[in-house]
Chain A
């Protein structure tokens, strides 16, 4: 599944659709993931970006990093504006253009969920990518429905008291051709999944973990390691559901066996956002993770 670096770095994929010199923070996983998602999708792609960091890191007008058509959109309207674009192209007979919404977690799990659910229910032929940095990062790190338990944000100064929403499972409960989770800090994973889903017809939902150095309080040099630890600890589970068929993916395939999972504190202790977390809190996250895996186990065994 993971592409070889040789292929990714070959001339076939040398064209950049998100130029360097943009305004993203150092170590931004969203910007890295968008760059590789666009390489996988190619030039015939239109991007809708509802309110999020992406609106800012593409650059101030009149400068702009994207070299594909790209529209900034209202916060709640990521999926609905994309629905309109798809409808317009269909009506005008233009059927060879990928339409992708590129939204943050706030724009997806909170304010954008109604439009997203509606667009999927209608079978809209588009890709919806949620880069999940687990906060309202663009407005300065407020808690979202996707912020994990214990994380400090400007609106949870002592840590969030409840767990995050499981948006991918909410989406999987729709009749949708493809749902998948991705480690957004791993360009190979991003590239492979977007290349795979490019030619699927109908709604496709990709949920990318998007480690955020300033929001999560870790050094930007650690972005790949934080993403890897999220997977290794079983906090971020790599799975996909294609036409109703669920399966684990990549390193997560080995993690059904709890002994293969690293303890969550390896992930938690590397991030300043969890600095106020007690051992009791860490235990609570470990229980939450183990519970998630039990649910995965039931799903996998139920299908066997």
Chain B
């Protein structure tokens, strides 16, 4: 593989992440080993130590230092990249907020895994969704190609002076991190033409330059601008929605791959029942949709690509269709004590208020800690939704319907 021409490589999701950092010419990478992220940092190590990637790779002693290192390095105006998973993300949580609060355009991939105890290293989005309110843009990548492409797009987005916020790109631990698929890796020149170098004189709001000294982060009293700084981050994340669409459209034009927008819908136009989810299962569910369609059931699916900003308007536009009779929102994460048990299904309350009250709404949870979710399981969820809508109850299912939430293949009753 050379940098001069485009090639299609058969690589893992983690290798796609490492390639994203390489093609984006990240100046600084900090990382600490954690399953299932580790092969991202191993791949970058190989790139750097063999001289193929010009990057200062700091192998720090903990994830807290990983993200603290990102803060320091990004404040010099360098392009910064890291990757982590599960426990590592939780350990760096304090510094995750430090990056966004400093408005630093760091890009981080998350090979999502279950949170201990008990130990679990398989796909589960509870880790990334625990960062729900951290001020980062949160994106899910559902294919290997999307992992690579999203890193390029995320730097474009994060470094946009209208945004200046960090981006998380989450994908499934093992299900994506350690499986291999073909990924188109564009030439370095093609990426350079798309993604400009960082500004010579640092980020517009902040750079550590002795010629232009600034003091950052000192104490603010309650009547000073702390609240305004917080509001501006919220406003910026919301305001990023059209910018995300611009970035996606621009990428489509340059590279020919279309990521649609903040959400991607599948066969929703005349659908009576729609399943909403995130991540790779949002791709797989298209097979379940096709099967059920062949049986004459009018179903469709929506894959949420961006969880922050939350794509409310885009969802309402599709779910507001007068054909629609039922929605099932399925989380691969757990939000203990929330209205529904899942992060995204709990967020849906403010969308439902804008939809007809006749709609049947079914929140669901599946696949925690990497538990298999087969196409058959996905069909069963659609069937349970149809059943609930038509009969007002769920009969003859392998799933558990408890206190209004459907738990797919739950072994307790």
| A→B interface (CB under 8 Å) | 43-46, 48, 55-56, 58-61, 64, 66-74, 76-77, 79-92, 94, 97, 114-115, 117-118, 121-122
Contacts and interface: CB of A to CB of B under 8 A. Distances in A.
A256 B214 CA distance: 46
Contact of A85 (B64, B72, B94): B72
Given A70-B215, A80-B65, A121-B61, A85 B208 contact: yes
A84 B59 CA distance: 11
Given A81-B69, A87-B30, A114-B62, A92 B76 contact: yes
Nearest to A90: B56
A92 B27 contact: yes
B218 A61 contact: yes
Contacts of B28: 84, 87-88, 91
Given A43-B210, A48-B72, A115 B65 contact: yes
B98 to A, nearest CB: 6
Interface stretch (B5-13, B107-115, B219-227, B403-411): B219-227
Nearest to B71: A81
Interface string B172-211: 0000000000000000000000000000000000001110
A74 B217 CA distance: 10
Nearest to B78: A88
B60 interface: yes
7 contacts: A60-B219, A74-B68, A84-B28, A87-B28, A88-B72, A90-B56, A122-B58
A117 B61 contact: yes
B208 A71 contact: yes
Interface in B64-87: 64-65, 68-78, 80
A81 B71 CA distance: 6
A73 B94 CA distance: 11
Contacts of A66: 213, 215
Nearest to A43: B210
B219 A55 contact: yes
B319 interface: no
B224 A61 contact: yes
Which of B56, B75, B76, B217 has its CB near the most chain A CB atoms (within 10 A)? B76
A121 B62 CA distance: 13
Given A55-B219, A61-B224, A80-B68, A88 B209 contact: no
Interface residues of B, number: 41
B220 A61 contact: yes
Nearest to A86: B72
Contacts of B78: 87-88, 91-92
Interface in B96-124: 98
Given A88-B28, A88-B74, A92-B27, A69 B214 contact: yes
Given A84-B72, A115-B64, 10 more contacts: A68-B210, A73-B71, A74-B94, A74-B95, A79-B65, A87-B30, A88-B28, A88-B73, A97-B210, A122-B58
Given A87-B73, A92-B77, A72 B218 contact: yes
B55 interface: yes
A88 B224 contact: no
B213 A68 contact: yes
A85 B76 contact: yes
A84 B218 contact: no
Contacts of B210: 43-46, 68-69, 97
B216 interface: yes
B68 A118 contact: no
A88 B61 contact: no
Contacts of B65: 77, 79-80, 83, 114-115, 118
B213 to A, nearest CB: 5
Contacts of A48: 72
B264 to A, nearest CB: 35
Contacts of A68: 210, 213
Contacts of A86: 72
